[in-house]
Structure 1
């Protein structure tokens, strides 16, 4: 086992070869990761992938089957949940309605037996940092959803945890408030300068707020990286399909040249993309982002692209600053193209004939089990 590091050199959180089994079911399968001090780390994945199980093991509510959990370099496996230097914000905030805001925030401090003047000072400082000074005397039901969210975070942060765990805390909010709270949470994390470990099934939340994201599937991490890494350089078909929108084709590789491949799709189209480790005859999948595809009224305008198709607009889905254009490619498949509202194609309508194209570097190809 790796020796403990000095606290000032160690990551705030480190999980090593973490495994959790429930009977014959493996919920977490040999997961390792580190979270540097002061960072925002998200675990992103579909329901049932194991992300909440990891969170509950870090908090001490579940015991790992094997592996280690270290905070500031020291193992916490034998440390009781209430003694670990972590705190947790749940989706259901569990604020006490019979208490004032100040009493809610100071609850943990009172449990620790701090003097009243220290509690008052710390609560006041926390209210300032969450941008809600002067509301300590109000009741919980007088606050908006976003204000309640900030109070729940302040209640955790006054205890000065090394790591704050957030278990899908925006899930119960309406869409507009959820979008606002993404920015708020990132600002609060910077204001408190505390490590946040956040779990979610919402890719937008993870992409907007996180310094690093772990994409989880079936108990394992498929890829850990920045939002840009995951979006533009996915390591696996699952990551390519789970993060953002993608057009996807399945087929067989006909030839390769370095990391460039040429594939014939199951519908008969020939496409070129980037794909390492593939050889002629392999079954494969190509993923292309909708915003990477270009639209033109003539084939000549797309002559610089390796991939060119002709199709018919079947639907235009307005989405604010951009529209999603669905194009039938002539062989029974529909592509999605993202375009800004203004410009040459602002007047595009259903039934219009169009040409589409994209470069081979915009397509990512992965091997597929036949």
Structure 2
């Protein structure tokens, strides 16, 4: 019979440090066996939230339940959680087997059982037969797997990961995104992962909570957070986006006409927020939603001049200065009619009214 409780439930959780509120009435649930990421900029409160789940800090108010049991007042070593830190905190004077078995020894598990369980978990993370090797004899990616193994050998209900890929180089970090997701699926353990790196969250997560100033702005799947951001902050923080400031000129159901501050008229559909005529607004438009065309006909078509072309592997990042003087960033494939564009070339940009998101400007 399946467990009726989510593995982790945080209800109206708050943490104050004197007059500063680091976490502000946060509520969410994490289903069993899922990969849940908390994404946000430095200082948004995500590490404080993780430390409350781990038991290193007590909430000022609210409740925190794991497998249906409240963890308020329960010390870290009595909670069914393990934690992987950014710098891994492996013991350099211990071999791999002793590192992985450290927590079991602390719990008084017998030597023969420790040996068996360590070998089993090392095999599951793809490191069989390495127990006797020193930590300085393995690669950065292997160290990540040892850190995971050290946690998973304790069979936690929830594994907490505090930006564990932050110290890796770019290529290894890309590889470890796939590794971590595979390990999470293999163990079927609930992962709660905090990061400021949107690509990590988008690639690995079943659900993402975007955090800002101690609160969650949106919780959703990677697709929802990227393609249907619920706030201007989410639209600007998750992925690359062009921001265009303007004023609402007309409304017709979910469709609106907006005049940019540069004087360009824009047609936008599928609005996430209610707006009124004359209200100041911000439009967010992904670079990949803009295409270059040879004709000036159609809706949301504007003439412009190539301001810069930056090669970026599979794509080029092209900046177009439109007729109003505004700059639009466009993601351009390396093949096709516009693959050889140069600075100063004249082009037309076009985008679908359904591709943009528009939000009211607070206080305007």
Fold match (TM-score > 0.5): yes
Contact 1:108 1:159 (8 Å CA) reproduced: yes
Q: Which residue is 2:53 aligned to? A: 58
> Structure 1 residue aligned with 2:196, among 193, 198, 201?
201
Are residues 1:67 and 2:59 paired?
no
Matches within 5 A, 1:112-151: 112-151=107-146
Asked if 1:309 is matched to 2:305, the reply is no
2:334 to 330, 338, 341: 341
Q: Kindly provide the CA deviation profile for residues 140-166 of structure 1, in whole angstroms up to 9, marking residues without a partner as x.
A: 000111100110010000000000000
Distance 1:247 1:120 in 2: 55
Aligned residues: 361
Query: How far apart, CA to CA, are the structure 2 residues paired with 1:146 and 1:72?
Result: 31
Q: Deviations along 1:244-296, whole A, 9 cap, x unmatched?
A: 11111111101101111111111111111133411101111111111011101
Does 2:164 correspond to 1:169? yes
Q: In 2, distance between residues paired with 1:233 and 1:262?
A: 20
Partner of 1:157: 152
| Number of the residue aligned with 1:322 | 315
Match of 1:48 among 37, 40, 43: 43
Following superposition of structure 1 onto structure 2, how do residues 222-301 of structure 1 map, counting pairs within 5 Å? 222-274=217-269, 275=271, 276-300=273-297
Mapped partners of 1:113, 1:279: distance in 2: 66
Secondary structure of residue in 2 paired with 1:223? strand
State the alpha-carbon separation in 2 of the partners of residues 346 and 292 from structure 1. 17
Alignment deviations for residues 167-199 of structure 1 (CA, whole Å, 9 cap, x no partner): 000111111111111001001111111000000
318, 330, 348: which one aligns with 1:355: 348
Cα displacement (A) at 1:115: 1.5
- What's the counterpart of residue 3 of structure 1? none
**What root-mean-square deviation, in Å, do the aligned CA atoms of Structure 1 and Structure 2 show?**
1.1
Once residues 359 and 106 of structure 1 are traced to their aligned partners in structure 2, the CA distance between those partners, rounded to angstroms, is: 56
Once the two structures are TM-superposed, the CA of residue 7 in structure 1 deviates from its matched residue by 8.4
Q: Match for residue 77 of structure 1? A: 72
Instruction: Answer yes or no: is the 8 Å Cα contact 1:97–1:139 preserved in 2.
Output: yes
Q: Is the 8 A contact 2:58 2:73 kept in 1?
A: no
TM-score for both structures, normalised by structure 1: 0.96
Is the contact between residue 272 and residue 363 of structure 1 (CA under 8 Å) also seen in structure 2? no
CA distance in 1, matches of 2:316, 2:11: 44
- 1:45 and 1:219 map into 2 onto residues whose CA distance is 10
TM-score of the superposed pair, with normalisation by structure 2: 0.97
Query: What stretches of structure 1 of length at least 5 have no aligned partner?
Result: 1-5
Whether the 8 Å CA contact 1:7–1:73 is kept in 2: the answer is: no
Q: CA deviation at 1:75?
A: 0.3
Structure 1 stretches of at least 4 aligned residues deviating more than 3 Å after TM superposition = none
- Give 3-state SS (helix, strand or coil) of 1:133's partner: coil
1:49 partner SS: coil
